Amino acid sequence: MAKQSQWKTSTGFILASAGSAIGLGAMWKFPYMAGVNGGGAFLLMFLIFTLLVGLPLLIMEFTVGKMGQTYTTKIYEKLTGKKWLNIIGWNGNLAVFILFGFYSVIGGWIIIYICTVIYHIVTLQSNQIGNLQFEALIGNPWLTIVGQGIFILLTTVIVMLGVEKGLEKASKFMMPLLFIFLILIVLKSLSLDGAMSGLRYILEPRVQDITVEGILLALGQSFFTLSLGTTGMITYASYASKEMTIKTSALSIVAMNILVSILAGLAIFPAISAFGYQPTEGPGLLFIVLPKVFEQMTFGAGFYLIFLILFLFAALTSSISLLELNVSNFTKNDNTKRKRVAVIGSILVFAISIPATLSFSSLSNIQFAAGTIFDNMDFLVSNILMPIGALGTTLVVGQLLDKEALRDYFGRDKFKLFSPWYYLIKFILPIVIVLIFVVQFI
């Protein structure tokens, strides 16, 4: 069997896994989910789930990857000797396949916005960016299909180049730049007249806004932003060198994710109230509100363009992890097959992404279960397949793996964190996931 590729440095691993985690989930999905589910109440639930469920699960996925050192449709067998458990890896594979299908829709929107803003700048209409019409742009089926096609193509080309050559180096300066831009937008948003009621909406946890649905969606959001349950993080950890530090890597990824989610909330909600929009706009929220904020800035169109490019970069570092998972499972780490598998996988993803994109135009009236086809794909992944994947891995780790071997990989520390973590994974989190999972069907 071919040798498993490795990151050259442990920084490479952290950058890549942070790149996978920080993407559309924190910046696009968090504000729209919070807007629909009570603002501050959603933020509070998201924080609780991310720290108490997401962080231990991320540590678990890193541990499994580091122990198993192979692709995830094999790793469960390698660790336990039970072949049928590889089904957890296949579940993750299915999850990322569907996820990439609807993720690329939003990636495509970013590309459409980039082109539109460039057009405005070139034709000297930069002062008009606040008038970008979301419905007109995204309601155009052909335009959106081309946009997502370009997004999938970009992802494919990057994955075909191989894991070490990815965007690892670029993210060293792109990520900090993205932080700076987010802070800039937050400051501008907060300075707008009427910003305070939006700020209160996202920061004040009102008990009456807590709903069962909101709780489920907040958990799904934690899974989504941390890329949990798809085994994507297991894959990245399996590429990492032995020196990778599991706990500090996981903690820094969780902290960055929370920070970006909060910054996105602080950027969007004050502007929503200032411009008289509703927080319940849905998936278009960020695309509707941000051009208005940038319009208020000197050189706003230029800054908006830079922001969109950074945003696209963040989305691409996540989408490459989606494709990478499929590639590593189907090539079984044989790099000679990498190009072929990446291309075939992308063509299939493109096919399933078309009904997702048409959910915002010609197929918008097809509504069932969680809403449109797009909403159902998202729900299926974030609230069903990801929790099932995470549950499967908790059961393997807690019930089948040797405790002392786990302790070695987990690493020793002065806070003696291994035992609390282990008992959380062994007893508490499987019950929490099952309970939440069952509640959503009642």
- Cα separation, 363 vs 139, in Å, equals 10
User: Which residues lie across from 211 on neighbouring strands?
Assistant: none
- Considering the complex, state which of residue 70 and residue 318 has its C-beta at the smaller distance from ligand PFF: 318
Q: Does 227 bind ligand PFF (CB under 6 A)?
A: yes
- Cα separation, 435 vs 438, in Å, equals 5
* Smallest distance, ligand PFF to C-beta of residue 290, A: 17
Q: Does 232 bind ligand PFF (CB under 6 A)?
A: yes
How is residue 311 annotated by DSSP? H
Contact set for ligand PFF, span 26-45 (CB under 6 A): 26
107-140: b (≥16 Cβ within 10 Å) or e: bbbbbbbbbbbeebeeeeebeebbebebeebbee
On whether the CB atoms of residues 85 and 263 are closer than 8 A, the answer is no
- Cα separation, 336 vs 284, in Å, equals 40
* Smallest distance, ligand PFF to C-beta of residue 263, A: 14
Q: Does 224 bind ligand PFF (CB under 6 A)?
A: yes
Between helix 10-21 and helix 171-190 the angle, nearest 10°, is: 40
Q: Does 25 bind ligand PFF (CB under 6 A)?
A: yes
CA-based torsion, 107, 110, 112, 115: positive or negative? negative
What binding mask, one character per residue, do residues 89-108 give for ligand PFF by CB under 6 A, x or -?
Answer: -------x--x---------
Q: Does 353 bind ligand PFF (CB under 6 A)?
A: no
Q: Does 65 bind ligand PFF (CB under 6 A)?
A: no
Q: Does 54 bind ligand PFF (CB under 6 A)?
A: no
Q: Does 24 bind ligand PFF (CB under 6 A)?
A: yes
Applying CB under 6 A, which of residues 73, 86, 93, 225 lies at the interface with ligand PFF? 225
Q: What are phi and psi of 198, to 5 degrees?
A: -65, -40
Contact set for ligand PFF, span 309-328 (CB under 6 A): 318, 321-322
Applying CB under 6 A, which of residues 73, 93, 230, 249 lies at the interface with ligand PFF? 230
* Smallest distance, ligand PFF to C-beta of residue 205, A: 23
- Considering the complex, state which of residue 21 and residue 274 has its C-beta at the smaller distance from ligand PFF: 21
Instruction: Give the binding-site size for ligand PFF (rule: CB under 6 A).
Output: 16
Contact set for ligand PFF, span 261-290 (CB under 6 A): none
Q: What are phi and psi of 258, to 5 degrees?
A: -65, -45
- Cα separation, 283 vs 318, in Å, equals 18
Q: Which are the contacts of 311, defined by CB distance < 8 A and separation ≥ 6?
A: 27, 110, 178
For residue 202 the two structure tokens come to 């996202």
Q: What are phi and psi of 2, to 5 degrees?
A: -65, 155
Applying CB under 6 A, which of residues 23, 65, 68, 300 lies at the interface with ligand PFF? 23
Site of interaction with ligand PFF (CB under 6 A): 20-21, 23-26, 96, 99, 224-225, 227, 230, 232, 318, 321-322
